[in-house]
Each structure stands twice: as C-alpha cells, then as structure tokens.
Chain A
Amino acid sequence: MSEKPKFAMYWSGSCGGCEIAVLNIGEKILEVDARFEVAFWPVAVDAKVKDVEALPDGDILLTLWNGSIRNEENEHMAHLLRRKSKLLVAFGSCATEGCIPGLANLAPLGEIFETVYHTISTDNPQGIHPQPVTQVPEGEITIPALKDRVYTLSQVVDVDYYMPGCPPESHQIAAVLDLVFQVLEGKAQLPPKGSVIGAGGSTVCDECPRARNVKTIKAFRRIQEVAPADPALCLLEQGIPCNGPATRSGCDARCPRAGAQCIGCYGPAEGVIDYGARLMTAFASVIDATEPEEIERILDGIPDPAGQFYRFNLADSLFKAGAPAFKHNGH
C-alpha cells in the first residue's frame, strides 16, 4: 500500500468512556496505527478541525463517532466528518441511542441550566449563566448553543454502521477492527449499510448462564434488598428488574454474570421498535397478579419507570423525549 487509509475518532456529548474502551483493546491499537494514518482523533493526536476541513470529501476511510448530538458544534462536526468520511460508525450508546446524556430530554433546557449552574452543589458565587454570545471588552465571544434536545447521530446525519454498548466491549471493538483489516486486505466484505456491528442478533438473556423457570413475580426489589441473590437463578425471576429480555446481545451477559442486573446498555434487541415498550411487555408478562390493586402494588417496586425503561434509549425511543423537553418551543 502506497498510502495508508485514514482513520478518525471524534467525541461529542459523551463521557469519554468509549475512548477508554478503544484504548483498552491493548496492542491491537498499535495495529490501528500501523494500518491507518490517524487523521483526526482529539483525544490521541494533535490534529485540528481545519486539517479535517482541508481534506477532500470522503478522504477518511473510517470514522468512529462517539457521543450524542447535544449542541450546535456537535452537529456541525457531525456534518463535517460525515462529508469527509467514507464510513461513519455510530460508536457506543451515546451515538447510537443518546444514552445517559439523552436522559436530559426528560427536562426543559431552562431546568437543566438551573440545575447545573445554580443549585446547591454548584459553587458559582457570581451567578454565571453561560450564553451563546457574550460581549467582553475585547469583543464578542461565542460558545456553541445547546440544541433543543439531545439527538442521536443518525438523527442528524446519515450513518453507515451502528456499534452499541456503553461502552462497546473491548473484544467487540477488536473484532470489528479485525474485520476492517480483513476488508482492507480484500479478504472480507463489509456488512450491508445500516447494520449493527460488534454485537449479537439476540438478547442478553440468550447469553446469560442463569437458570430460568416460569417467572411469577410478586414483588420487584432492588438488588441490594435481595440478600443474598441466588447466583445461579435468573435475576428477573428473583424480582430484580433485569433488562436482559429487551437488550441486544453482544456483551456476553456481563452484568448478570457478575451478579448485577442488566440495565440495557446494548440498546434494543434486533427487530425491537421501541426498547421500553418491549421491556414493558416482558415485565408485564412475569407479574403474577390479576387484580388492579395488587398489580399496582407490585409496580410500586419500580420507582422510576421512565429511567428503568429508557435509561439508554430515550433519545432514540418513539417519543424521543419527555413532554417537559418541548416546553420552550411553544408546545
């Protein structure tokens, strides 16, 4: 190969964990460096946005994008990197479905600012409240304005592949990179555009080694209230709200294996239109009650239903946000 193909990775509304997960693949990261020219990766190399702007369109072979679209700069960069990249991968839960940042869609923007800048946990004696445009003696300075709500990457630009997980498991990242290397060598083909990569096609339950019987739940309890939880029995069967039935496989049931319930970070299983709705169906099926009062009492054991059912998927759900998020735009 005369010239190495280019690789980029970018982060937007995210926590940084996805970047760590990439570095966690160990020495395979050296192979990325050997096979690719890293054109842009703010966390790892010193390239500037203007360097990206100077590239011909489609010049970057592979861009891993991690993060939700929270502000106008995120959106601008998404358009830029989309234009410059042949393959744009929504990498991790934030990019594919909004993830934890997407939970901000349960509140109006004003409340988010209020909480972040003016509540008791914030030391802000001057009451600073950032504005997109600020006049200072030297002139005008700007910071990116927040968008009305958190968007997923594919809600703002065309995405080629989706890689779920918060963060994606390192062995899955390594497997995807191996596939890319094979494609570069002409030994493999890319999956069809729009595919979910680095994950399985079934549910976390399918990879879970815990024993399952007919589930009859009389009470939901938090895991710390079940002492000790049976290490070999399905957690949901023990009344612990485990999101495995609606969640895509790929992590090898990491959490249930470690003694904790799945909270759904691999997003909706194959064919699921709305993650929360699928999970509601699953939970409603295992509740052993027919009287409304008793059903309500059992449901009291899920104190935060929106959080339980949409912790990772709210921005990508059918509703995309809670009603308060729309307050400011006249609705």
Chain B
Amino acid sequence: MSETFEPVIIGFTCNWCSYRAADLAGTARMKYAPNVRLIRLMCSGRLDPTFVMKALASGADGVLITGCHPGECHYIEQNYKALRRYLLLRRVLKGMGIEPERVKLVWASAAEGMKLAQEINTFVEEIRALGPLGWNRKLAGNGHKVEEPALEVAA
C-alpha cells in the first residue's frame, strides 16, 4: 500500500501572508507537491479545531496550518490564538491515539513563497512516512458505508 500512498493534505492558509506566499510560489513557478488542497481563511485565528478534525475525520491524512509570523498578524495577535489552539489540539489528538505530527503549524510571510513550498514538500514527506490515516474508512467498518471526503468547510 505504501508505494501507492499519496497523502491527502488540507492546508488552511491565512489570506494576508501564507495564501499570498502560496500564490507567489505558484507565479514564480516554484514546485510544490500537489498533495495539498489549500483553503483560504481570513486569518489563522479563524482556524477552528473543528475544521482540522473534520478534515482528518473525513479522509485527510494531514493538516497544514499556516499563518503570519509571530508579531506580524494582520489582526494583531490572532496567530497566537492559532498557536495555542494548535498546541492544545495536538495534545488531544495524542490522547486519542492519533499521531500529533499529522497536524503542523508553519509561519510564512507573503514574501516567503520558497519557504512555504519547501515546508509543504517536507510535510508531504512526513505524512507519507506516517502512512494513511484513513479515518473515513475506519468509521465505515461494521457495515457502514465509506463517506468519501467532502470537505465543505466554511471559512
């Protein structure tokens, strides 16, 4: 299974920095792994742990959260909120027997297209090494049908 495993990763990016960084990476033709589906939030502070859990429970193998560097949040300090939620969420995941490394927070400014592209590639490889999470298939055991990833996440 591992040789065919292509991780599905959901990326929640901040409108002001990392989404632009991703855009920059795109326009500058820097290559990053196609495994990441980016969802734009107005701010990493909008990142509700519900989004992350819904992504993972619906079939994603990993979730990447990106925000502006500490001290550079467009909304002053919402990225610290994201940091605290992220650290707490990882502990809860661990308590549920899920590798906390499946969720990663990365700071990237609008100018750091290259950095973001590298972070994405690194994360894809980290998740590849962890293997599939396949929570939707887990839940589908016992005669229940597999719900294929349908990620309607309100930003």
Contact = CB atoms under 8 A, between A and B. Distances in A.
Given A287-B84, A292-B87, A331-B134, A148 B141 contact: yes
B81 A284 contact: yes
Contacts of B49: 274, 276-277, 280-281
Interface stretch (B4-12, B23-31, B88-96, B116-124): B88-96
Contact of B137 (A299, A310, A331): A331
Interface in A261-309: 273-274, 276-278, 280-281, 283-285, 287, 289-290, 292, 295-296, 299, 302, 304-307, 309
A295 B87 CA distance: 8
Interface in B103-155: 134-135, 137-139, 141-142
B13 to A, nearest CB: 19
A277 B50 CA distance: 5
Nearest to B85: A284
A329 interface: yes
Contacts of A323: 96-98, 138
B141 A302 contact: no
**Secondary structure class of chain A's binding surface, majority of residues:** helix
A222 interface: no
A280 B95 contact: no
B95 A305 contact: yes
A117 interface: no
B70 interface: yes
Interface string B56-96: 11000000000000100000010011011101110110111
Interface stretch (A119-127, A206-214, A314-322): A314-322
Contacts of B139: 320
Given A318-B53, A322-B98, A326-B138, A302 B84 contact: no
Contacts of A290: 70, 77, 80, 83
A274 B70 contact: no
Nearest to B86: A284
A79 interface: no
B85 A306 contact: no
Interface residues of A, number: 40
Given A276-B92, A305-B95, A329 B142 contact: yes
A290 B79 CA distance: 9
Contacts, number: 101
Contacts of B40: none
Contacts of B137: 331
Contacts of B142: 147-149, 329
B57 A280 contact: no
A281 B85 contact: yes
Contact of A322 (B48, B53, B97, B134): B97
Contacts of A321: 96
A324 interface: yes
A283 B92 CA distance: 13
Interface of A: 106, 147-149, 273-274, 276-278, 280-281, 283-285, 287, 289-290, 292, 295-296, 299, 302, 304-307, 309-310, 317-324, 326, 329-331
Given A106-B95, A299-B88, 6 more contacts: A106-B96, A149-B142, A280-B49, A284-B81, A289-B84, A305-B94
Closest 6 A/B residue pairs (Cβ): A306-B95, A323-B97, A284-B84, A277-B49, A277-B50, A322-B96
